[in-house]
Structure 1
């Protein structure tokens, strides 16, 4: 009875927004199971028997009334020019709008007004087109058509934000013929304590774009309205101009293509239990969505044949893989990619063993409520395989996910990017934006060196200096108490900074602030400075230039992506 009372209290707190359900389950879960390292099946049974009120919540349904309330909230923010907040309200309204209702058209039209006010006329036209195709009421059509005509006039008069990128940020060195989105001269190597990593087989210089990969799997956090902000299939923001899943109330996509692909690949298994997933993921375990998504990606790749999938998977746990051996020069083969991801050799993590079992049990029980899952997993042997596989993927996805501070709320898995190891002193920058994962060299990388990126902290970025790396204990040169780390920290603390370097840093700082000078010229100056002074690294003065260079690179990638989006929309609507 005491347990039931505590659960009821957590349900009340959860409804009031004070507690997350997973937090409640973890706190109330019988401690003796963790103490004696109970079997995964016991975790499964306890979740089902004791925590149903926290896990098996009712699904929300689309309601025009709710959609209208969200849209009206957006209108209030529109009137005070809180553009981004208004867009998120309109997106929430789209998610709740009933198929075939005029609420869809009204929300798209409202979004077009935001883009018009922001001077993004291509996106305004895109949303006007969506409104006209989704039951925008005839009684209001004249106003919408007037806005459409004004957008076209603005574009004809050259008032577009632009469709030609200032800098193209695709791979700009010789490419690997079998992996055309990866630079030639990069291999995979096993590193003690780190596992797989990328090694430079030749020298690379600052500004070399060595990787431009698409996310293979994506999970969007349900926290902070991120589900109304990013595409659930590729992670693209598409400047918040998303379309809703026509069935559930919390998944959005950047295009019909992503919506259809994600439905086939994973969301058909999630959609009927989307609110349950939303509920259990409102905590730090939102990465857990990747666990199920990897499983269903594999099931789809095996043509929904559970027996074939089970036979292969059971023989290939932890056998090791090299994604660089996959031929990506022709059409992508999801089955080969899945096999490479599944057979990843992962290091056991006793610290999180209890969490992995608990997360697995929660998601497993929720997925079993999905009619699509029930229709395929009828046999007990197949359901047990699903449980074992999800548990294995808890560690695999924990190991492989690319989760950067910017953008927040998006975790991805891709076969090549997943090979990049973390360092708080990275020699490469990885940017996840608009359905692309771009990696650029920051500092000279010599042949034989490991290529590191950062999944959080960067010693030269004060904003990220205290970013928590919850998934592992970092042992890089910044953090590790070992000879390379001691040598690195001694170099960082050197007092005898050469005056020419300080003078040049001052000159570059002034150059960056110079009005009228194009960003490409500023970036080139920083790049050349970093190359010239690589032997003096890691002096703080050099770290500041690396930080500035990384900021400009991130902006360049984001700008190129947004320009591409405008170009795509213009080509579709205006035929340019």
Structure 2
């Protein structure tokens, strides 16, 4: 059976399927919706200021469901023919020494091969061969074992034996060249990172995932916010949060480089046994995903591949599946007051026992959402929520799971699910946290085992996640904290960049810092992307890189409430007199930090940089040295987390 060229190119190049002839299903649906809306009364389309449920009920009058054709759902199913074609494509790239392209092709061949079939075993052998060329015997050994497990042809058994012998030889050579000292340093750095940055020292009693000195409060002008309840020095870890749900940006374009359950980077992943879109770092992650949030995604992902949707739409679906139909039906039936009748903004997200429980759906449900400022977008979002609800109904057993009461109107429950879908589409647009990493290519030189220079590597966005606490952090163009994430696990911690005073709000930056982007550009980006007008100090005073100064500025004393040299506070006066010496000492230490970073001594650089930031008490945010020290500290963190 010949392989469809359009389908094959779509898979290899990671593009959305378009055959240039037929109108896709979503376009037909939307065209029909617009026709119905034009025939109806314009007043009936008034959805401005309405709740999500009211919006769904209004739009539903003009929504006419057209069942998804089977061709959409079967287009990217597992296929021996496609797997063989992908393996041949990988062989060609391998011979041309394009190892990055070859690895992707072999990964895809494994993903499209039918479980238990000979094509799967042969694809594993090809990938094992490539891993040995790339000096990765551990990954090669796993693939050799998998090939033997998946019925590798007996007539080619000698090839598997030869590959095993080669694997042992490569492993012996690699072990002989291992620098025990460097390995020990890296392992110690990893333990240091885990202990310092990803473990809470004194957990809060009522707010999970934060330290005891962190609180959540509420302001009418900005909603819920995260603050500190005592003075905190720079370099302090304030919260360690895990995502409730995440989505890979290239999920629908066959991302074979990240685990679809824990988001860890992978090079030799395990494919989903039921669909061709998901890869996992282990059988354990695969099993957890396929019995959890990914179970309902197998059949509808091929539809989404042909109808590109924003990350927020796919993330909303992931959250709906994570919550599950039974819990959503309970909320629909009971109208649980902690979800729908929260007494005040400050109480949102807390359960009946007064606990901000991060593993529950409650904090995610209460993430703030801004209604679209444009009518067309508002209309389109509501239409997509209804569309996705119907797609889920057709392709999964989601709506057959709940035990409906005799008096339940199932159609009303579906409308409720669509309204929740719409709610999350809007909240995730403004609350989702970007997942990124340093881009590390597959080297064309297989003998190059050196670590690349971190300073020359680019940051690559690969996904988005929603967090129960981290998503509450507001923006500042001059942030006092930075989120840091280890690629070895899914947790993200937030570290103080400056000394914080009691009552200070913890702020991170959604944009490039004020030193990297002019104020009008920052304000426009934040207004267009996040739908708010930034009023931080950097924007109010129009700070930009041109405002950088060599003056540390006048410091304000919290004890005497006077400026320095006022004669009111001896401590302030002494510090002001010593300021030139303090600044000179910090400059020397900044140079020392630079040298530590060049020598990849990231642990030592982080320690010294955090001490320097703590010594910058009272410095102006525009003071060049203060800005440079923050940048050096973040470089040290990046180095630590990428060892």
- Relative to the length of structure 1, the TM-score reads 0.78
Report what 2:384 is aligned to.
Answer: 359
Match of 2:214 among 160, 182, 186: 186
Single out whichever of 129-138 and 449-458 deviates more from structure 2: 129-138
Q: How far does residue 375 in structure 1 lie from its aligned partner after superposition?
A: 3.0
The match for 1:15 is 19
Q: 1:244 to 1:149 in 2, by over 3 A?
A: same
Give the corresponding residue for 1:250: 277
2:394 equivalent to 1:341: no
- Whole-Å separation in 2 of the counterparts to 1:452 and 1:444: 13
Number of the residue aligned with 1:549: 633
Q: Is the 8 A contact 1:341 1:415 kept in 2?
A: yes
Q: Residue 456 and residue 362 in structure 1: after superposition, are their counterparts in 2 closer, same or farther (change >3 A)?
A: farther
Is residue 195 of structure 1 aligned with residue 223 of structure 2? yes
**CA-CA distance at 1:553 after TM superposition:** 1.1
2:500 to 434, 445, 466: 445
Q: How does 1:18-33 map to 2 (within 5 A)?
A: 30=34
Aligned to 1:310: 332
What is the alpha-carbon distance in structure 2 between the residues aligned to residue 26 and residue 217 of structure 1? 29
Aligned partner of 1:98 among 114, 118, 143: 114
Q: What corresponds to 2:146 in structure 1?
A: 130
Following superposition, the deviation at residue 44 of structure 1 comes to 5.0
**Residues 169-248 of structure 1: matches in 2 within 5 Å?**
169-170=193-194, 172=196, 174-176=201-203, 178=205, 181-222=209-250, 225=253, 227-237=255-265, 239-248=266-275
Residue 393 of structure 1: SS of its match in structure 2?
A: helix
Give yes or no for contact 2:480–2:507 (8 Å, CA) kept in 1.
yes
Displacement after TM superposition at 1:365 (Å): 2.3
- Mean Cα deviation higher: 144-153 or 91-100: 144-153
- Over 3 Å counting, the alpha-carbon distance change for 1:28 and 1:66 in structure 2 is same
For the structure 1 residues 437 and 369, does the alpha-carbon distance in structure 2 shift closer, same or farther, using more than 3 Å as the test?
same
Structure 1 stretch 120-129 or stretch 23-32: which is displaced more?
A: 23-32
Structure 1 residue 292: Cα displacement = 1.7
3-state SS, counterpart of residue 513 of structure 2: coil
Where do 5+ consecutive residues of structure 2 fail to align?
1-15, 48-54, 405-409, 438-459, 553-579
Conserved 8 A contact 1:198-1:450: yes
Query: Secondary structure, in 3 states, of the residue corresponding to 1:199?
Result: strand
The equivalent residue for 1:572 is none
Q: CA deviation at 1:388?
A: 2.4
What's 1:412 paired with?
Answer: 465
Give how far 1:145 is off: 0.9
Q: What is the CA–CA distance in structure 2 between the aligned matches of 1:47 and 1:505, rounded to whole Å? A: 65
Partners of 1:19 and 1:538 in 2: how far apart? 55
Please state how far the C-alpha of 1:152 moved relative to its aligned partner: 4.0
1:176 shift after superposition: 0.3
- Report the secondary structure of 1:265's partner residue: coil
Q: Find the aligned partners of 2:414 and 2:236 in 1 and give their Cα distance.
A: 47
Please give the alpha-carbon distance, in whole angstroms, between the structure 1 residues aligned to 2:71 and 2:121: 34
Is 1:523 matched up with 2:631?
no
2:563 corresponding residue in structure 1: none
Q: Is the 8 A contact 2:348 2:366 kept in 1?
A: no
Report the structure number with the largest CA radius of gyration: 2
Task: Tell me by how many angstroms 1:165 deviates.
Answer: 4.4
1:473 pairs with one of 531, 546, 565: 531
Counterpart in 1 of 2:621?
537
TM-score (norm 2): 0.71
**Paired residues for 1:46-85 under 5 Å:** 48-49=64-65, 58-85=74-101
Question: Is the 8 Å Cα contact of residues 589 and 612 (structure 2) preserved in structure 1?
Answer: no
Gapped runs of 5+ residues in structure 1? 1-11, 560-576
What does the per-residue CA deviation read over 1:168-190, in whole Å, with 9 as the maximum and x for residues that have no partner?
32363623065775323111111
After superposition, the Cα gap between the structure-2 partners of 1:296 and 1:489, relative to the gap in structure 1 and judged at 3 Å, is same
d(CA) in 1 for partners of 2:639, 2:21: 36
**Are 1:375 and 2:413 counterparts?**
no
Structure 2: distance between partners of 1:471 and 1:55: 36
Superposition pairs of residues 98-177 of structure 1, within 5 angstroms: 98-138=114-154, 139=156, 140-154=159-173, 156-157=175-176, 159=178, 162=183, 164-167=187-190, 168-170=192-194, 172=196, 174-176=201-203
Counterpart-to-counterpart distance in 2, 1:296 and 1:368: 12
SS of residue in 2 equivalent to 1:446: coil
Match of 2:46 among 37, 43, 49: 37
Change (3 A) 1:506 1:75: farther
Aligned-pair CA distance for 1:98: 0.7
CA distance in 1, matches of 2:625, 2:32: 50
Query: CA 1:543/1:494 → structure 2, altered by over 3 Å: closer, same or farther?
Result: closer
1:296 and 2:321 matched: yes
Equivalence for 1:486: 540
Greater helix content: 1
Identify the match of residue 424 of structure 1 among 461, 477, 480. Answer: 477
**Structure 1 stretch 521-530 or stretch 172-181: which is displaced more?**
172-181
Residues 135 and 28 (structure 1), Cα distance of their counterparts in 2 relative to 1, 3 Å cut: same
Question: Which secondary structure does the structure 2 equivalent of 1:522 belong to?
Answer: helix
What is the alpha-carbon distance in structure 1 between the residues aligned to residue 229 and residue 492 of structure 2? 21
For residue 408 of structure 1, report the CA deviation from its aligned partner: 1.6
**C-alpha offsets along residues 294-337 of structure 1, whole Å, 9 cap, x if unaligned?**
2222226xxx36642422456533736555779999xx988x61
8 Å CA contact 2:251, 2:278 repeated in 1 = no
Q: Distance in 1 between matches of 2:426 and 2:59?
A: 17
1:458 pairs with 2:516: no
Do the aligned residues in 1 keep the contact of 2:210 with 2:238 (CA within 8 Å)?
Answer: yes
